[in-house]
Structure 1
Amino acid sequence: MKNDSSVAALADALRTDVRRLNPGERLPSSRALVERHRVSPVTVSRALGLLAAEGLVVTRPGSGAFAAERPPAGGEPADLGWQAVALGDRSVDPAGVAGLLTPAPDGVVALSGGYLHPSLQPARALAAAAARAARRPDAWELPPLGGIPELRAWFARTVGGAVSPADVLITSGGQQSMTTVLRAMLPPGAPVLVESPTYLGVLAVARASGLHPVPVPVDADGVRPGLLAEAFAMSGARAFYCQPSFHNPTGTVLSAERRAKVLDVARAAGAFVIEDDYARHLGIAAPPPPLIAQDAGGRVVHIASLTKATAPSLRIAAVIARGPVAERIRATQLVEEFFPARPLQETLLELVSSPGWARHLRAVRAALRARRDAVRTALARELPELRVNHPAGGLHLWVRLPDGVDDTALAEAALRAGVLVSAGRPFFPAEPPAPHLRISYGTAASEQELAEGVRRLTAVLRS
């Protein structure tokens, strides 16, 4: 993040310089910029790349960077109001997802986010895997439709049960998988059952696809099967989206008894279960087998992602399904995006096939255990009146606030005080029953930074 800040600061300085130059006039050399601004050559290169993308400069290899031609000044801005009529009243609201993907400002402790802190990501192993993958003769060729066979086989072995490589479809990350699955299975206007609370991203995808999320409450053991059966009967829904292991945001694991009941309820309703297994490799304790491993009737559509356990830009996941629904999902992916990039597929295969993969997972699990316990200890010491869960995996704590606290206002005040947390309200498909915060323990730089974040949050709550 500091490097990104240096690039932005240099780009700001160069914009001022460029505006003083005439079109075609040369900027100082890269060496001169390095010495003048005391930054690295990489920072200079990236800053010039930003200005080139903005159309402010033109770079010529071997010659340097030059001020670009400027568009003529003045004139009325184009009238684009007609587009509102053409587009109609459907809207796509990215606010929730954008908030989760926006890095914390400098000086703010990040206790919110969906990815491991860079210090916990396997950067060196990924770089080595990518280098090996790029050296393959067919690295940039068209991949087999459905994904490279060795990667499909790896996902099948990892999931277990009766899953075969033929059931596996390689996809472009978990979020894209949810989009493809929902669009393939449900027509616009259809209801889809979701846990309440649930992952912000699935609510955004469902609403953008014209679907109607119907909440089904969860408790400490996961979704409540009796209420799930009622929701199927009342809504007529034909699909239920859930996260049975390390549920986001609550961290709960669906109990063994309820796992069987959820499948029974779906069977009685003639419906599918969409199982989002995003955090299986972030288990502090080993999670139970996925629902699809217990499913003999092709009722479960399983989404397996490795992005959370690796790095944000390793956008490779798998959808596992059987029967006509699998054909529908494969066809939808093919017409919408063709296939995931082969170099990323090959890189992931190299990573999970290397001896360092198991070491990385052990290190991440140990770090997450220490971080979870550090945050819970700090909260118990500073804010004993809060009810804090004890997740067995994942990245988040789910904190019950005192009645009457406005969790959205609290999260905004916390950000002003230098700590980023997530209000609980947006995770509910409908009105929340109580105020909550989601506090992420895998996103900060260290246990010391986590403690400082709790201290800042405490000051806000006490005020």
Structure 2
Amino acid sequence: MPLHGGITTANWLVFNPANYYTEGNQLEGLPMINWYADLPPIKPKYRAITQLIKRLIEDDKLLPGQRLPAERELAQLLKVDRSTVTRAFLELTANGLLIKKTGSGTYVSTLPQIASQADKVNWNFFLENTESRGDQAYQQRLLQARALDHGALIDGAANELPMGLIPELGALQLDWHGFLLAQKQEQDAGYQPLIHTIGQIHTNKKQFHLANQTLIIAGGAQQSLLLVLRSLLQVGDAVAFARPSYFNSSAIFQATGIHTYPVPLTSDGLDLAALEEAILKHRIKLLIMNPTFQNPTGSILTLEQRQRILKLCQSYQIPIVEDDVFGWLVAKQDEVPTFKSLAPENVIYLSSLSKLLGSSTRIGWIVAPQAIGQRLLQVQKKLDIVPSMLAQVMANLALNNASFEPEISKLTAQLSHRRDQVTAIFRECRPDWRFTTPKGGFYLWVTQDDPDIFNQLLAQKILVKPGPIYGTDKRSFRFNFAGIDAKKQQQLRERLKN
């Protein structure tokens, strides 16, 4: 393959003092290097490359200050992936044997100390390897904006309820003796009274029945999803979810080695043609859905849309994981049957209290067919990720509190009022912004035409969650209206008018 002015790749290369390398042009006093033939026969390959370069430096075949081939070209010579060369260079750089010069290349250190090098771990590789997510820069900007805030920020990028809207349940009575007695009611699936309470809630709401199902208490919806992935899938398996979706920025898939394939969410629901293509092309093992007050769009899939998705998944034997953390906030007239009620044997249902009682509550649950439930229990016990007994007892007290249902009704009304106020401000001040008013939940999903909208709003002390975090482009953003009280509504109007 031709390189730079007709030079071709080959195994035999030497270095030129002018910081370039040529083919078959041996320098006086320096032997030529046969990169591929001289590579030690050890694994992993990056370790073989580091040993080769160390030996070449020791034997004066690579001299201080000399430039090495570019990573891509050296990968061709060594017949390895470029990432393998990158890792070797990172380790050698961390050990002081190589120096990277931005825009120039990689060089042998002017004073490489081979003999004094300890065989130490290159932590830089792990740090660089964990910063690969495309949304990382936005996440850092959000953290920085909050850290520097002195009360002027309108935070529409929050994920949860503000403290002022969390239901007020008064004093939850629990003495030490009662707590000790409660521990005797703990089973493998969790605190039995809490399991009974949650089961009764789902039955009373006519969401689904627990016949032939297992209900398992877990540490929130995210931990529930982690448990499902670890129990049912293997590294390299594939799942699908909607785009845009908060699943796009979840670290769970990377941590479990699961490949993800987003499927567009349209005005008619999930793009079924794209879903079928993903199933056939990528051998999708699970479809993960957040069908009620979807995060970030706030949409609710209709019954017809849910039935079409189920029919397609059943035809390919694809189970559905239903994330229903916002199901608490649906008004009676807007309720749609859950996927779980429509196909109980084909769906794993997840929910939690974090969207109601604060993100630190960390109490969630899984409802799965019995055989799958037993598998989940085995893995949960093996991984020791059972939520604390104290948290389970407190959650049960909260759910059985006489104020719980009235407080949820009050919360739903407050959210509806704030949604109406914020949408009116958006229409008044930014008529070019496009959005569909959700029937509930916390979020507005806005699209407009300016790709720099995140920075423009940030300059006005308005924080939003930009589209790339959810797998879309910079022209979209999510706005959490739950925390925008009357005072902030006035500030929002004034800033958007400027």
Match of 2:160 in 1: 115
Q: 1:344 to 1:98 in 2, by over 3 A?
A: farther
Q: Distance in 2 between matches of 1:128 and 1:333?
A: 32
| 2:360 corresponds to 1:321 | no
Counterpart contact for 2:248–2:469, Cα < 8 Å: no
Q: For residue 366 of structure 2, give the secondary structure of its aligned residue in structure 1.
A: strand
Q: For residues 278 and 101 of structure 1, what CA distance do their matches in structure 2 show?
A: 24
1:203 shift after superposition:
3.5
Unaligned segments of structure 1, at least 5 residues: 1-77
1:441 partner letter: F
How far apart, CA to CA, are the structure 1 residues paired with 2:144 and 2:341? 36
Structure 1 match to 2:262: 215
Please give the secondary structure, in 2, of the residue aligned with 1:129.
coil
- Of 290, 293, 296, the residue aligned with 2:338 is 290
Q: Secondary structure at the match of 2:257?
A: coil
Partner of 2:74: none
In the alignment of these two chains, the number of paired residues is 371
CA RMSD of aligned residues (A): 2.9
Call closer, same or farther: CA 1:234–1:447 in 2, change over 3 Å.
farther
Aligned partner of 2:380 in structure 1 is 333
Q: CA deviation at 1:433?
A: 6.2
Query: d(CA) in 2 for partners of 1:421 and 1:336?
Result: 36
Give the drift of 1:134.
8.0
Contact 1:112 1:443 in 2 (8 A): no
Residue 447 (str. 1) matches residue 490 (str. 2): no
Tell me the residue number matched to 1:150: 193
Equivalents in 1 of 2:312, 2:489: separation in Å? Answer: 41
Letter in 2 for 1:83: W
Match of 1:235 in 2: 282
1:168-247 paired onto structure 2 within 5 Å: 168-200=215-247, 203-247=250-294
CA distance, structure 2, for counterparts of residue 437 and residue 130 of structure 1 = 42
The equivalent residue for 1:311 is 358
Hey, what does 2:61 align to over in structure 1? Answer: none
SS of residue paired to 1:288: coil
Measured at CA, do residues 202 and 273 of structure 1 come closer, stay the same or move farther in structure 2, by a change above 3 Å? Answer: farther
Q: CA deviation at 1:410?
A: 2.5
Higher relative contact order (CA 8 A, sep 6+): 1
Point out the structure with max Rg over C-alpha. Answer: 2
Distance 2:222 2:139 in 1: 10
Q: Tell me which moved more, 163-172 or 213-222.
A: 163-172
The secondary structure found in structure 2 opposite 1:388 is coil
- Report how far residue 283 of structure 1 moved: 2.5
Residue of structure 1 in register with 2:172 after alignment: 129
Shift of 1:378: 0.2
Q: Give the secondary-structure state (helix, strand or coil) at the position aligned to 1:326.
A: helix
Q: Can you give the 5+ residue segments of structure 2 that lack an aligned partner in the other structure? A: 1-117
Tell me how far apart the structure 2 counterparts of residues 129 and 261 of structure 1 sit (CA, whole Å).
44
**Contact 2:166–2:357 at 8 Å: present in 1 too?**
yes
Correspondences of 1:314-463 after superposition (within 5 Å): 314-402=361-449, 405-406=450-451, 409-428=452-471, 432=472, 435-444=475-484, 446-459=485-498
Distance 1:108 1:416, change over 3 A: same
1:255 is aligned, of 302, 306, 323, to: 302
Return 277-286 or 391-400, whichever deviates more. 277-286
Contact 1:425-1:435 at 8 Å conserved across structures: no
- CA separation in 2, counterparts of 1:81 and 1:113? 38
2:58 alignment counterpart: none
CA distance, structure 2, for counterparts of residue 369 and residue 222 of structure 1:
23
| Distance in 2 separating the partners of 1:148 and 1:168 | 11
Look up the SS of the partner of 1:193 in the other structure: strand
Structure 2 counterpart of 1:137, which letter? L
* C-alpha displacement of 1:137: 3.2
- From 247, 270, 273, the equivalent of 2:320 is 273
Residues of 2 paired with 1:244 and 1:346: CA distance? 29
Aligned-pair CA distance for 1:83: 3.3
- For the residues of structure 2 that align with 1:195 and 1:440, how far apart are their CA atoms? 20
Deviation by residue 1:147-186 (Cα, 9 ceiling, x = unmatched) = 1122212222333323249510000011111111122222
Q: Tell me the TM-score normalised to structure 1 length.
A: 0.73
